[in-house]
Structures are given as structure tokens and as C-alpha cells.
Amino acid sequence: MNQNRRKILKALGGAGAIAAAEPYLSFPAIAQSRTLKIGIIAPKAGIVGTIGECGLRGTLFAVDRINAAGGIAGRKIELVVEEETNPKDSIERLRKLVLQDKVDCVQGIVSSGVSLAMGAVAEEMKALTIFWDGTTQDGVKETMFNPRYIFRSTDNECEAVMASLLAIKYWKGKFVTIAGINPDYSYGRNNFAAFQALLKKFGVEVKVVADQWPKVGTLDLTSHVAALKAAKPDLIFSSLLFADLPIFMKTAHGAGLMEGGTKFVFPAAGFQHTGLKKEFTPEGMIFGHNTLYFDYKDGSALQKEFVQDYVAKYKDYPHWEADRAYFAMLVYQAGVEAAQKAKNAWPSQEDIINAMEGIKVQSLGGPGHMRKDHIAEQTFYQGLTTHKNKYDFPTLGTLDIMYSEQLQKPPGMDFWKWIETAQIKL
Amino acid sequence: MTAFFDILIGGVFHAAVLFLVAAGLQLVFGVQKIVNLACGSFYALGAYFGISSVNWAIAAGLPPVSFLPVLVASGVLLGVIGPFIEALLRTVYHRDEAFQLLLTFALVLMFQDVLRFFWGANPQQLGNLSMVYGKIAIGAVQVPTYNVLVILASVLIAVGIGAFLQRTRFGRILRATAENREMSEALGVNVRRIYASVFTLGTVLGTVGGALVVPTAAASLDIPVELVVEAFAVVVIGGLGSMRGALAGALIVGLMRAAAISFYAELEILAIYLVVIVVLIARPAGLFGKPVE
């Protein structure tokens, strides 16, 4: 018994000595024999289920490519997938991934409602976490200026800013009355407010004749459409983006809202692009595809390969969540490999984080980089819709591309102040 | 005037949708005294199965214009699950209401996973199929013909159930059983069969409702909870267990919502629950409900 105890104490002492010497030692052979565990937290159900599914497919595409090429710095990736639901349960799953599954990195999160709550927990747990589409903004106000362990997506307002700029570029002087139908949470409210702030900045005087705030997931929008029709706006701005968007378009078409030359600005419609059929989605509307436009003729070989693979596997066309997920994986891969190269040994988490700051990657949708304050910068695609294509849904006849440095506030700046003072080019 | 009619049609359409959900709830409570929270799940099941049925029918060569009878048939077919679920509910007929609520809520959660298993997590839609019947245009007022058909279907169901309960022998037996179960049993009524029939009819009302409405909307896993909350506002206003109450409650909720959305969108939800509060204070049993003695 005593002998056993002595053996255990010796072993523990040995392990302690190794742990103490760890910063000075490297074990590449041992490290590379273990798979790299990456935890994914993504929605699987409800109105955001389709978003999470598309993101996960982007992750799988990235993992297949990386593993086929030998893994990240020689280590193959193993995914542990959990479901994103409400903030409380999603945080429990983050804890499970970190403490129980002992993942090396956590990626995912579509809802900023979840990432806002999860950010502080991930920081406290010192868990390297890269959000696909989540921010740590309370509305448009950043709550974590210099986090260490979490990396955020571009600000949610990027697409609203770009769509607003395009509306001004294409239609300045052609509309006087505007109406909004936006989801009733901070994303919808901030987007419509940003649109109005930009109109003001560029000297476009308008009158808001209706503003509708259906709660997310409202599946009967007949009364909302009737209210919009009654207001007779020249332009309708909508950041609807879930299953309610095709329903709105169908209902609007049925009620004749699309007749009479009303202009439409839909910055986030790309989430539902394949569900917005030509029969009820007009040509000439401003339509946002965010950071991945699947039909971009001059897109990279990588994008074309991905779209081809996606269509073959899933009989569908991808939207931007696939790009956000791919981007997150690529940023991590690039960070690990850069840190490993610099150290000539398997890097610590701190080394990886340092390397990820400012790192540039080629994502599915185009170039992107991770700012020093851990906020992503990516390429955005929007334009005017056309029916002249081989699909049963509209694509972009006129394509505008902007890098998010032109669309989001710089580190530490107030969003509204930035809109007022920024030198934004149309 | 155009705006008035647009808003009115929007309100009546929403009322029709709510009535289709609330009707099953009212029928089952009226006879069996069970608050069936799973009525929204039947509606969702009808919506999902309706989409699959239409897709199968079109793939089999039926013209798109035939989708309406396919939807109705699919909803009626789903009635087969009614007797099985009623058999489960039998275990709590004589127990506290809390048990009944817990069991029907458990059914809501189980159905959600059943829907997810068969149809996946993503919302399902029927594209633009609802527009194959075109639009009705009177001046500047335009309304899809299909929406008018849904409103008419609700009215027909309301009238049909009313006539069934008032004018048929089986309807009279149902009302007698609802009034006094023991006396009915003493007079030779097979209450077990009555309960199974009523529950199946309530199920069919939900599944047909879901199937009918889905071409204008979408089927999603959130439907059961979303709709049951609004359906409860309907039954509280109309009176629990009353079909006339369901119709009146649905109209009040639908029109209040449409008016609130048009005149002050922020009040969309508040306006409905203000009515609920007023009714609960002025007539606790609802507009057509019987006071508890």
C-alpha cells in the first residue's frame, strides 16, 4: 500500500516537474500524434437552424481540405459539435466542450444575443473562441474592447451600412418617403436607424411613413404588408433574414405591394436567397449577400470549388454563414501554423492568439483579416437583383463589392459618431 | 378606403388562422375538459405533412392547381393519430388539471422532436404555390384568391361544426356528454368512444388547419408554441370550451392585431393582451363561456 502511494507520489512529482518545465520543452512528436479537437456550437433547429446547418457545412468543407492536406501543423482536426440555443444553455455547452471534451478551440455562434453573454464566460475560462457571426455588441455599443481569448465577427451593421450606401448611390433624389419592416430586436432596429443616419449624412431628406417590427419568426405578415401598403412609401428597407423573409415577399406580392415602382432595400436577404423565388421577388432590388455571393463570376477557384461541392452534396446553394464558418477555421489554422513556424515547436494557446491578431486569410468569399482588437474584416457583396439567370430565384445583375474596413467602425469608436464623422465613399 | 380594406382583410385572415388552431382546443375542452396544449403541434404536423403530400403529388404528375384537395386530404389522413393520443390522455382524465397540462405539454415537446426527425430543423415552404389561383382585385385592393379560400374554409368549418353539434344526433350526444358525463353514461352513451371521436375530430381540425395555411406561410418547429400562446388569448376572450367563443375571440384578436400593426406597430402584442385583461376582469368566463359554479 505504502509502496503504491510512493509510486503515485513519484509519478505526480514527475508530472509536476514536467509541467513546470513545459515552457522550455517541446514535444512535437507527441503533440502531432494527437488530433486537434475543435468544438463547434451552432444552431440546429428553429428559424436559425438553416443558418447553423449552412455554417456547419462550411466548417466540414474546411476540415476535409485541411485534413486531406495533413491537418493543422501536422495534426488532424476532430470536431465536437454542440447545439446553439439560448445563451444559458449555449454557455453550458461551451463549458462542456472546454472542461469535458478538452477542445483546443471553440468556433460557432450565430446569434449576438448568445455571443454577447458567452464572450465574458469564454474570457474567464481562457477558452480560445472564434464567433462565426456573433459580436459582443450591446446594440451597436461594443462591450469588450480588448478581449484576449475571443475573436468576433464583423459588426452586424456592416450589411446595413453597405445597403444604405447603395440605396443612396443608385436612388438619391428618387425617393422621399420610406418605410421599414425589420425584426423586433437590436439587429433590426439598429439597421433601420443606421439607414436613416446615413441618409441624413448624405443629405437625403426623407419622411418615415411606416415602421413595422414583427417579432422574429412571425409567419403571418398579412397585416404588416397591409400597413406598409397603406403608407405608400417610395422605398422599403427591411433587414428580415429568417424564414419570415420569403413569407413577407410572398405576402407583399399577393397584396400588390410590389406594383407601383416601390424600391426595396434588403441588406440581409442572402440568408434566404434560394427561397426567394422569381415569381415574388422583383428585379432591381438592393439585395445583400454579405460575405459570400455564390454566383460571383470572378470569384476565386476556392469559392467555385466550394459552391460546386456544396451543390453536389446538398442540392442547394450556400449563403454567407458557410463563409463565416470557413473564415473562423482558416483564421485558427493560419494562427496555429504561423505560431508553430515562429516557435519551431507546437505553440501554446497564448502563442496562437498572438499569431491570430492581424492575420490575413483567403476565405470562401474573398480576402479577410482579423483585427488586433479581435474583430474580423471581410469582403461584402450586394447589388441589384436580376431574373436573367438559370435559377428559379434572383441573383445580382449589378454587383458591388466592399471591404468591411469601409463599413464598420474602427476600434474603440462609437458607431453613431463614426457615421457622422467618417469619410465614407459611395 | 383601400387601406381600410387591406387592414380588414389582413385581420380576418389572421383570425381565420387562429380559429383553425383554437377550434380543436375548444372542442376537446368542451367535451373532455382537457386543456390540450398539443393542439399547436397538430397544426404544425398538418403543415409539414401537407408540404410533403403536395410535393409527392406534384412529383407523381398531379397539376399544381390540385394542391388544395391534396392538402385537405393529408390533414384528414393525419386524424389517425387522434385515437392513439386520446388513449394516452385517458390515464389523466381523473387526475388533477396540472397532470393533464404536463402531459399535453410533454406531447408538444415530443412532437417537436418527431417533426425534427422526419423533416429536419429547417423551416419548410411551398414556394409560390398559393399564387396558382391568382389574385382577386377590387380597385386597388388585392388579395390572393388562396387567402380568401382559407378564410372561407374557416367559416365553413365554423358553420359545419355548429350544425354538427346542434343538428345531428351525434352532436346532441356530444353536448349531453359535455354537460353531464355520468348521466350520459347511465343513459347508455359509450363515453370512451365519444371521447376518442371528439379528440380525433379536434386533431383533424388542427391538422387540416395547418395544411391549409402552410402555402401562405411556412412550417417551422416554433409553430406549436407560437400558436398555442395566441390560441389561448382567443379562448380566454371567447370563453373556454365555446365554439362561438373561438370564432369571436379569433376575430377580436385578428382585428385588434391588424389595427395595432397599422396604427401603432409597437402595440401589436400589448393590444391583444389588453383585451384579454379587460375580458378577464369584466367576464372571467369569457364572452361565450359558462361561469364556473
Put simply, the answer to whether A254 touches B265 (Cβ < 8 Å) is no
Mean pLDDT score of chain A = 91
- DSSP symbol at B289: P
**In a shared domain, residues A108 and A204:** no
Confidence bin at A424 (pLDDT 50/70/90): confident
C-alpha span between B145 and A232 (Å, rounded): 23
Is B218 in CB contact (< 8 Å) with chain A?
A: yes
> Looking at the structure, do residues A131 and A34 belong to the same domain, yes or no?
yes
Chain center to CA of B227: 9
Task: Please report whether residue A295 resides in a domain.
Answer: no
Taking the alpha carbons at both ends of chain B, their separation in whole angstroms is 47
Q: Rounded to a whole number, what is the distance in Å from the CA of B290 to chain A's nearest CA?
A: 32
For residue A218, tell me if it sits in a domain: yes
Q: Percent of chain A scored above 70 by pLDDT?
A: 92
Of A211, A253, A279, the CB nearest to B265: A211
Same domain, residue pair A389 and A370: no
Any domain includes A5: no
d(CA A236, CA A251): 14
The CA-atom distances, in angstroms, between A310 and each of A21, A57, A248, B232 are 47, 8, 27, 43
In the structure, what pLDDT confidence band is assigned to residue B124 with cuts at 50, 70 and 90? confident
Asked if residues A192 and A159 have their Cβ atoms less than 8 Å apart, the reply is no
Task: Spell out which residues of chain A touch residue B216, defining contact as CB-CB under 8 Å.
Answer: 220, 222, 247, 250-251, 254
pLDDT band at A217 (very low <50, low <70, confident <90, very high): confident
Q: Average per-residue pLDDT in chain B?
A: 90
End-to-end Cα spacing for chain A: 79
- Which residue pairs, CB below 8 angstroms and at least 24 apart, start in B82-86? B82/B196, B82/B199, B82/B200, B82/B201, B82/B202, B82/B203, B82/B204, B83/B196, B83/B199, B83/B200, B85/B38, B85/B199, B85/B203, B86/B195, B86/B196, B86/B199, B86/B200
Residue A53 and residue B121: Cβ atoms within 8 Å?
yes
pLDDT at B291: 64
Q: Residues A209-236: what's their mean pLDDT?
A: 92
How high is the pLDDT of residue B292? 54
Beta carbons of B264 and B37 less than 8 angstroms apart:
no
As a whole number of angstroms, the distance between CA A128 and CA A136 comes to 15
Cα gap A317→A377, rounded to integer Å:
24
Report the distance separating Cα A18 and Cα A369, nearest Å.
Answer: 37
**In this structure, are A341 and A411 located in the same domain?**
no
In a domain, A393, yes or no: yes
Percent of chain B with pLDDT over 70: 99
For residues A88 and A134, membership in a common domain is answered with yes
pLDDT at A22 over 50: no
d(C-alpha A330, C-alpha B252), whole Å: 54
Contact B231, B223 (CB under 8 A): no
Q: Among residues of chain B, what percentage have pLDDT more than 90? A: 61
Distance between CA atoms of residues A321 and A108, nearest Å: 10
**Nearest-CA neighbor of A330 among A370, A372, A371, A290?**
A370
What is the model's pLDDT at position B172? 92
| Residue A208 confidence (pLDDT) | 97
* pLDDT grade for B20, boundaries at 50, 70 and 90: confident
Within a domain: A1:
no
Domain that holds residue A359: 28-154+302-377
3-class secondary-structure state, position B168: coil
Count of CB atoms situated within 10 Å of the CB of B166: 10
* pLDDT value of residue A11: 46
Cβ neighbourhood burial of B270 (10 Å; 0-12, 13-18, 19+): exposed
The domain total for chain A is 2
Bridge partners for A179 per DSSP:
A210, A236
Residue A84, pLDDT score? 95
C-alpha cell at position B239: 370563453
Dump pLDDT digits (tens) for A69-100: 999 999 999 999 999 999 999 999 999 999 99
**What integer pLDDT is reported at residue B94 of this predicted model?**
85
How crowded is residue A202: how many other Cβ atoms within 10 Å of its Cβ?
Answer: 15
Question: Average pLDDT for residues A161-165, to the nearest whole number?
Answer: 97
Answer whether B261 sits within 8 Å of A256, measured CB to CB.
no
**Cα–Cα distance for residue pair B85/B199, rounded to 1 Å:** 8
Q: Has residue B31 got a pLDDT over 90?
A: no
**Average pLDDT, integer, range A203-232:** 92
Taking the C-alpha atoms of residue B160 and residue A101, their distance in angstroms, rounded to an integer, is 59
DSSP letters for B76-140: HHGGGHHHHHHHHHGGGTTS-HHHHHHHHHHHHHHHHHHHHHHH-SS-B--TTGGGGG-EEEETT
Report pLDDT digits (tens) over A316-367.
Answer: 999 999 999 999 999 999 999 999 999 999 999 999 999 999 999 999 999 9
A233 to chain B nearest CA, in Å? 13
Is residue A113 within 8 Å of residue A131, measured between CB atoms?
no
**pLDDT higher than threshold 90 for residue A212:** yes
CA-based angle A21:A27:A33, to the nearest 5? Answer: 145
Q: Average pLDDT, stretch B129-157?
A: 90
Residue A141 has phi, psi (to 5 degrees) of -95, 120
Question: Do A181 and A283 have their domain in common?
Answer: yes
Neighbours of B1 (CB within 10 A): 8
Residue B122 has pLDDT above 50, yes or no: yes
Banded pLDDT at A259 (limits 50, 70, 90):
confident
For B269, the grid coordinates are: 402584442
Task: List residues bridging with A108 in a β-sheet.
Answer: A41, A131
| A411 phi and psi angles, rounded to 5 deg | -50, 135
**Chain B, nearest residue to A272 by Cα:** B123
**For the segment B225-247, what is each residue's pLDDT rounded down to a tens digit?**
888 888 889 999 999 888 889 99
Q: Kindly determine whether residue B10 and residue A225, on different chains, have CB atoms separated by under 8 Å.
A: yes
Q: Do B220 and A250 touch (CB under 8 A)?
A: no
Residues A280 and A241 in one domain: yes
**Contact call for A222 and B10, based on CB within 8 A:** yes
Check if the beta carbon of residue B44 is closer than 8 Å to that of residue B223: yes
Rounded to the nearest 10°, the torsion over CA B89, B93, B96, B102 is 10
Cell 435559377 -> residue? A391
**Tell me, what's the pLDDT at B121?**
74
Contact B233, B273 (CB under 8 A): yes
**CB atoms closer than 10 angstroms to residue B54:** 23
Q: What angle do CA B281, B284, B285 make, to 5 degrees?
A: 160
> Is pLDDT of B95 > 50?
yes
Residues of chain A contacting residue B19, judged by C-beta atoms under 8 Å apart: none
Q: Nearest C-alpha of chain A: how many angstroms from B127?
A: 7
Rounded mean pLDDT of A279-299? 97
The candidate with the shortest Cα–Cα distance to B132, out of A280, A262, A390, is: A280
Indicate if the pLDDT at residue A123 is higher than 90.
yes
Looking at per-residue pLDDT, the higher value among A33 and A398 belongs to: A398
Give the residue from chain A lying closest to B214, CA to CA.
A219
Give the C-alpha separation, A328 to A126, whole Å: 18
Domain identity same for A244 and A384: yes
Same domain, A49 and A93: yes
CATH number of the domain enclosing A353: 3.40.50.2300
3-state SS, B209-236, equals HHHHHHHHCCECCCHHHHHHHHHHHHHH
A142 and A247 belong to one structural domain: no
Classified as helix, coil or strand, A77 is: strand
With 60 as the cut, is the pLDDT of residue A3 above it?
A: no
For residues B268-288, give the mean pLDDT. Answer: 91
How many residue contacts between A and B have a Cβ separation below 8 Å?
A: 129
pLDDT at position A32, please? 56
| Residue A22 belongs to some domain of the structure | no
A139 against A371, higher pLDDT: A371
HSE toward the beta carbon, residue A241, CA cutoff 13 A: 27
Asked whether the beta carbons of residue A46 and residue B220 sit closer than 8 angstroms, the reply is: yes
For chain B, which domains are there?
2-282 (1.10.3470)
Cβ contacts (< 8 Å) between B145 and chain A: which residues?
A: none
Nearest to A337 by CA among A76, A74, A73, A29: A73
Contact residues for A269 (Cβ-Cβ < 8 A; gap 6+):
A240, A241, A245, A276, A287, A288
The interface predicted TM-score (ipTM) is 0.82
Instruction: State the smallest CA–CA distance between residue B33 and chain A in angstroms.
Output: 30
| Alpha-carbon distances, residue A46 vs A41, B37, B287 (angstroms) | 15, 19, 35
| Cβ atoms of residues A394 and A287 within 8 Å | yes
Question: Smallest CA–CA separation between A53 and chain B, in Å?
Answer: 9
Same domain, A271 and A391: yes
Whether residue A14 is predicted with pLDDT greater than 60 in this model: the reply is no
What is the pLDDT confidence band of residue A33, given thresholds at 50, 70 and 90?
low
Q: How far is CA B154 from CA A39, B21, B52, B83, B150, in A?
A: 49, 10, 23, 24, 6
Calculate ∠ Cα A52-A74-A361, nearest 5°. Answer: 50
Q: Which of B149, B262, B263, B269 to mutate to test the interface with A (most CBs of A within 10 A)?
A: B262
Instruction: Say what the pLDDT of residue A17 is.
Output: 45
Are A54 and A272 in contact by the 8 Å Cβ rule? The answer is: no
C-alpha cell at B213: 395555411
If you average pLDDT over residues B154-180, what whole number do you get?
90
Q: Does this model's pTM top 0.80?
A: yes
Q: Would A93 be classed as within a structural domain?
A: yes
What backbone torsions phi and psi does residue B254 show, to the nearest 5 degrees? -60, -45
Residues A255 and A286 reside in one and the same domain: yes
